[in-house]
Structure 1
Amino acid sequence: MALDKESGYRKNFLLIVTFIVLISILFILSLFLAFNFSKKYIENEFVSEKVNVLEQTIKPYNDFFQIKMPQVSYYSGYLDSASASRFADTTTLKYPFVSKITFYDSEVKNMPVKDGVNSKSFGFGPKNIYQFGKNVSADSIKIYSEENRKSFDVNSDFNPMALQLLSYIGRLDTAKVPGQEELFTNFSVVASNKITYLNIPSFEELKVYKEMLHKKLPQSPVYKLGMFVFQLDPSKIKIINTKPSLFQSIQVQALTYDPINISDENMTTEIALPNAFSNFKLYFISSKDHIKKEIFIYFLPIAMVLLLVYGVLLLIAFLIFRNLNINSKMFKLQYDFVNNLTHEFKTPVSVIKIAGNNIKSATSLSERELGLYGKILDEEADKLNGLMNKLLAFTQIENKAIKLNEEEVNIRDFIESTIESHTLKHPDFNMTYEVAGFKTFITDPVLMGSLFDNLAENAYKYSKPDKKILHISAKLIKGVLVFRFTDKGIGIQSSELNNIFKKFFRIQNEYNQMGSVGLGLAFCKELVNFMQGEITVKSRVGTGTEFKIVLPYNK
C-alpha cells in the first residue's frame, strides 16, 4: 500500500516537472515572438515616423505660405519700398529658409508700358524693383527704376506672372465673386526653390482691369500692384527630429541624391519635401546598432511581463510541488504513526492476552504466580492507559479544550518526585538537579509532570548504556523561569533540529527501531505553548542534547 502511494506521488512529481518544462518552452517561445514583434514594430516605425518628422519640419514653411505671404494683400496694393522692406525683414527673420525677396513696385495702366506686358489698352509693368535679404548690401537694394531700365529682364519672374494675370482677367466672370482659393491659385506661382506672389486686388479693381483689357476708359485709371518673388534655400530648413531615439541623422538632400557607399551597418529611409522644395527630400540615417538598442528598449517591458507571468507559474508549480512533498511526508509520518501505534497497542494487548490465557488455562495458581500475573496485567494496562492519555491530552491541548488547573508547586519536591519515579523505573538512570532564585511557582502540576516525564524519558531512551545521565536546572532569570534538561546522549543532527517538534516525526536511528509514535516532543511543544512559554533545543551529535524551556513566573 505504501509503495503504491509513493509511486502515485512520484507520478505527481513527474507531472510537475512536465509542467515546468512546458511553461519554460512556452516562455522561451514567447520571448522569441515578442522580440520579433518588437523588431518588426521598430522597423515599421522607422519607416512611418518619417511622416511626423516631415510634418513638423515643414510646419514653418506652411505657416509662411498660408499665413505670411497672404499678408501682402492687407496693404490693398499700396506697398511702397519702406513697407516692403519691413515685410521682408520680418519674413527673413522668422523664416530663415527665405534667403532673398525681390519686390516689384508695379502699376496697372490703361495704356501701354515701356517694360512689362501690354495687351490692347492694358499695360502692366514695374516702376521700381527692390531686393532684400541678409546678403544684399545697402547699395544694391534698388535694382530697377524708370530712369535706369537696363537691369530689367524680359525673361525674369515678372513677365510670367504678368501673363498669368492677363490670362485670369481674360476669363474672369464679373457676375460672380471669385473665392479666396481661386484668387490665391491664380495670383501665385510655385517653382523650384521660388514662390512668386502678386498682391490680390479687390473684386471691383478686377472688373476695372477687365474693362481696361478691352477698351480705353475715359479716366485712364492707374492702379498700384505689388509683386514679391521669394527665393528659398532648402539647406536652411530647420529639421525637427520628433524621434531621436529612432533617427540618428536627418539631412536635406537633392531628390536625386544617392550615396555611393551604402553601408550594411546603417538603415536609411527618405521622404520628398512638398511644394517649392519638391526637388529635395529628407534623408534619414541610423546605425543598425542604434536600432537594435531601441528594439531592446521596446522589448524589455514585454519581456518583464512575460518573466513575471513565468515566475508566477513557477511559483504555482513550486507551491504544488511543496504541497505534494508535504503530503508525501505526512502520508509517511501517518503511516509510520499507525504502524507504531499499532505496535505500541499490540505489545501490551498481546502480553495481557497471554497472561489471561495462562490464568484461564491453569488449574491452580500459587500466590507467587498470582502476584506475577497481576503485576504484568497492571503494568501493561498502565502502558495502554498512558498511551491513550497522551493521545487524548495532545488532542485536547491542540484544540484548547482543557484549562490549566493552577496550583502552587514546590520546585524541589516536584523535581525530586520526577527523579524518584524515573530512577525506580530505570535504576541505571543517573539524574541530578539544581534550583536557583525561587522555591515555589503557580502551574498545572499534571501538565508540568507530563512535560518533565517526556523529556526525562527521551534523555534515557536516546543515551548509550554507559551515559544515561540527565541534569535538570531550574532558575529564575529576569522574571521568567528557565528549565534546562541536559543529557549526554547520542545527540541530534543539525538538519533534524527544525523537525523534531513536528507531529509524527521520528529520527531514524538505532534507538527508534523498536517503534515510536512520534508524538513525545510535539506533545512537549504543545504543552509549553499552551502554558504561554517557549521551548528550544541545542544538540551536538555524540555529545548530548539540551532542551531549554522558558515559562512565565507566576507566584
Structure 2
Amino acid sequence: MTGQNTVFRKNFSLIVAFLALITAVLVVGLVVGYQFTSKSVENEFSSKKTNVADQTIGPYLDLYKNKIFEINLYSGLLDSASAAYYADSVFRNYPFVNKLVFFQIVVSARGRYMGNNLKIEAHSVFEYYPHKKYFKKSRLEDAANQNDFRQMAERLNSYVARYDTLRGPGPDQQAFFYNTRPGKVSFLNIPSNADLKAYHDLLKGAGSSEAFYKQNMMTFYLEPTKVKIKNVHPELYSSVSIRQVSYDPPDIDHTKILTDEVPLPGAFSDYKLYFSSPRDYLNSEVYHRFLPIAGVLLLIYSVLMLIGWLIYRNLSVNMKLFKLQYDFINNFTHEFKTPVSVIKIAGSNLKGDNELTDRQRKHYGKILDEEADKLNELMNKLLSFTQLENKSITIKRDKVKIESFVKGYIDTFKIKYPQFKLDYAIDPEARFFYTDTVLMGSVFQNLIENAYKYSHPDRKELFIKVSLEKRNIVFSFIDKGIGIPKNELNNIFRKFYRLENQYNQNGSVGLGLAFCKELVNFLDGDITVKSRVDVGSEFVVTLPYES
C-alpha cells in the first residue's frame, strides 16, 4: 500500500498547489482591482469636472441664448414700465444678475452718435436693481453707460454698412448685436429686414431726413460669485467654488489633496470653477466602487475553492475506494486461501498411502467440515449482502419471545467461547416482538462476535440490554473492548472498510458491521454506535416495536 499512499500524497500536493495558486491570483486580483479603481476615480476627478461646469453655467447660457433674446420680441417698443417687468423676471430667475440698464435708442438722420449719415442716439436710460420696486432714470454721460452705448452703436453702424440689401442678413447676424465683456452682456434688439434697408438708405444719404426708428438696448451686469454651483458629482468633489482666474492657493500638499479647475465662458471669463478633494474623501468612493469588484473576485475564488474541494474529495473517495477494494481482495483472498489450504492438506493426508486410524480420519473429517463451513459462511454473507442491496430478500416476520431469543444466542456463544462473559437485562414490558429471526439473528451473531474478537483477553465481556422507547424496541450491545477512535465512527459501517489494530492483523473482509447496518435498515430500523478507546463500545439497534 505504500505506492498508493505516495500517489495520494502527490495528488494532495497538487490540490494544495492549486489552492495556493488561486489564492495568489485572488490577492493579485484584489490589489490590481483596487489600484485600477483608484486610478479610475482619479481620472474621473479630472474628466467629470466639465459635467459640473455645464450644469453650473446652464442658467447663464439660458439667460444668454433665450432670456436676453426675448428683447427682440418687442421690436424696439419697450418702455420703462415694460422694461421694469422684464427686468423683474430676469432678477427672479437669474440671481447672478445684479443690475440691468435699459437704453431707449432712436436711429435717424440726426443725432449725437453718427457714422457717416446714420445717426444713433440714446433717448433715455433707466437702471433696474433686484429686490427693488422702483427704477431710476440714469444719464448717458455716466462713463460705463456711455461706453456700452458707444460700442453697441458702432456695432450697429458697422453691420448696416456691410448689410447686403439684396441677400438679406448673413448667418452671423446675431453676433453683431451681442457685446460680451467680463461681468456684463449688452444686447441690441435685431432690426427687421425693412428697418435694416431703411438704415442702409440713411447711411447712404438716400433716406428721409425726417424718418426715425426705435431700438432697445439692455446691459446685464453679472456677478459670477452668485452663480449657484451644481455639484452633480459629490462623490468626487468635496468642494467646488468660483474663484478668480488668478486664484492659486499656496501651501497645498498635492499628495493629500487633489485639485483641478475649469475656466468659465463669456461674461464669466475672469473666473473659474475650482475643484478640490482630500484623498481620504476619494478613498470612500474608491472603496464603494471596489466592493463589487472584490465581491466578484471572491465569488470566483469561492467557486474555484469549491471546485478544488470537489476534486480533492473525489480523489480522496477514489483512493479510499481503491484502498477498500485492494484490502477486500487481499483479505478475501486470505480468508479463502486459509480454508482452502487446510482442506488441501487434510485431503492430501486422507488420500495418502499411509494408513490412518479411525481417530485420524475423524480429525481430518472434522477439519474439512469446519473449513467448508467457513467458506460457506463467507459465501452466504456475500450473497446475503448482495440480496439486501438489491432488495431481493422477503422479510418473514414471526412473533418472537424476546428473552428466549436473546438467551439462546448468549448460551450458544458461552459454549463457543467459555471465557466470554455474557449477560443481559430485558425490560419487563418487552415480552414479545415481531421480526425476521434469520435476519435479526445475523445481527446478533455479528455484534456478539465482534465484541469477543475486539476485546482484550482479560476483558472479554458483553452486556445486552433490551428496552422500550416510545414505539421502538432498543437492543444495546455494551462491551469493554478496545474501542473505536472518534474519527473512525463514521466509517465503520461502510462496506469493505476495516480498522487497523492489533486484533485485525490477519484481516477481515470488512463486511460485518456493513452487513449489520444493511440488515437493520432492511428491517426499517437504525443502528448507531458510541465508543471510547480502551473503554469500550455500545452498539444500539433500534427497531419498530409490534407486540
Same fold (TM over 0.5): yes
Amino acid at match of 2:274: Y
Amino acid at match of 2:6: S
**Contact conserved, 1:455 with 1:485, CA < 8 A, in 2?**
yes
Match of 1:165 in 2: 156
From the superposition, tell whether residues 468 and 159 of structure 1 become closer, same or farther in structure 2 (CA, over 3 Å).
same
Hey, what's the Cα distance between the residues in 1 that align with 2:535 and 2:519?
A: 27
Match of 2:398 in 1: 407
Hey, what's the Cα distance between the residues in 2 that align with 1:273 and 1:107?
A: 35
**Contact conserved, 1:252 with 1:283, CA < 8 A, in 2?**
yes
Shift of 1:168: 0.8
**Contact conserved, 2:465 with 2:477, CA < 8 A, in 1?**
yes
Amino acid at match of 1:356: G
Match of 2:105 in 1: 106
Match of 2:483 in 1: 491
Query: 1:129-152 CA deviation, whole Å, 9 max, x = no partner?
Result: 1111137794x72113xxxx6547
Alignment of 1:425-440 (within 5 A): 425-436=416-427, 437-440=429-432
Amino acid at match of 1:220: E
Match of 2:532 in 1: 540
User: Are positions 1:222 and 2:212 aligned together?
Assistant: yes
Shift of 1:217: 4.2
**Contact conserved, 2:182 with 2:267, CA < 8 A, in 1?**
yes
Alignment of 1:26-45 (within 5 A): 26-45=25-44
Hey, what's the Cα distance between the residues in 2 that align with 1:380 and 1:211?
A: 141
The alignment partner of 2:438 has SS state of: helix
Amino acid at match of 2:463: H
Report sequence identity in percent: 48
**Contact conserved, 1:121 with 1:216, CA < 8 A, in 2?**
no
Match of 1:239 in 2: 229
Hey, what's the Cα distance between the residues in 1 that align with 2:132 and 2:149?
A: 20
Query: 1:172-231 CA deviation, whole Å, 9 max, x = no partner?
Result: 11223326x533211111111211100122211221222222236457222221100011
Match of 1:382 in 2: 373
Hey, what's the Cα distance between the residues in 2 that align with 1:222 and 1:554?
A: 125
Shift of 1:444: 1.7
From the superposition, tell whether residues 339 and 173 of structure 1 become closer, same or farther in structure 2 (CA, over 3 Å).
same
Query: 1:472-507 CA deviation, whole Å, 9 max, x = no partner?
Result: 222332121211111222222323222221222222
Alignment of 1:357-396 (within 5 A): 357-361=348-352, 363-396=354-387
Q: Which moved more, 1:202-211 or 1:2-11?
A: 2-11
From the superposition, tell whether residues 218 and 31 of structure 1 become closer, same or farther in structure 2 (CA, over 3 Å).
closer
**Contact conserved, 1:268 with 1:284, CA < 8 A, in 2?**
yes
Match of 1:134 in 2: 130
**Contact conserved, 1:105 with 1:225, CA < 8 A, in 2?**
yes
Hey, what's the Cα distance between the residues in 2 that align with 1:414 and 1:542?
A: 30
Match of 2:542 in 1: 550
1:252 corresponds, among 242, 246, 258, to 242
**Contact conserved, 2:479 with 2:537, CA < 8 A, in 1?**
yes
The alignment partner of 2:100 has SS state of: strand
From the superposition, tell whether residues 458 and 326 of structure 1 become closer, same or farther in structure 2 (CA, over 3 Å).
same
User: Are positions 1:421 and 2:412 aligned together?
Assistant: yes
Match of 1:212 in 2: 202
Hey, what's the Cα distance between the residues in 2 that align with 1:150 and 1:350?
A: 138
Shift of 1:28: 2.5
Aligned residues: 545
Amino acid at match of 2:456: K
Hey, what's the Cα distance between the residues in 1 that align with 2:275 and 2:390?
A: 77
Hey, what's the Cα distance between the residues in 1 that align with 2:313 and 2:175?
A: 81
Hey, what's the Cα distance between the residues in 2 that align with 1:522 and 1:342?
A: 19
From the superposition, tell whether residues 488 and 159 of structure 1 become closer, same or farther in structure 2 (CA, over 3 Å).
same
The TM-score with structure 1 as length reference comes to: 0.93
User: Are positions 1:519 and 2:519 aligned together?
Assistant: no
From the superposition, tell whether residues 71 and 15 of structure 1 become closer, same or farther in structure 2 (CA, over 3 Å).
same
**Contact conserved, 1:504 with 1:517, CA < 8 A, in 2?**
yes
The TM-score with structure 2 as length reference comes to: 0.94
Match of 1:298 in 2: 289
Hey, what's the Cα distance between the residues in 2 that align with 1:13 and 1:468?
A: 41
From the superposition, tell whether residues 153 and 412 of structure 1 become closer, same or farther in structure 2 (CA, over 3 Å).
closer
User: Are positions 1:122 and 2:113 aligned together?
Assistant: no
Q: Which moved more, 1:126-135 or 1:454-463?
A: 126-135
Shift of 1:61: 0.9
Provide the aligned C-alpha RMSD in A. Answer: 2.1
Hey, what's the Cα distance between the residues in 1 that align with 2:262 and 2:138?
A: 38
The alignment partner of 2:506 has SS state of: coil
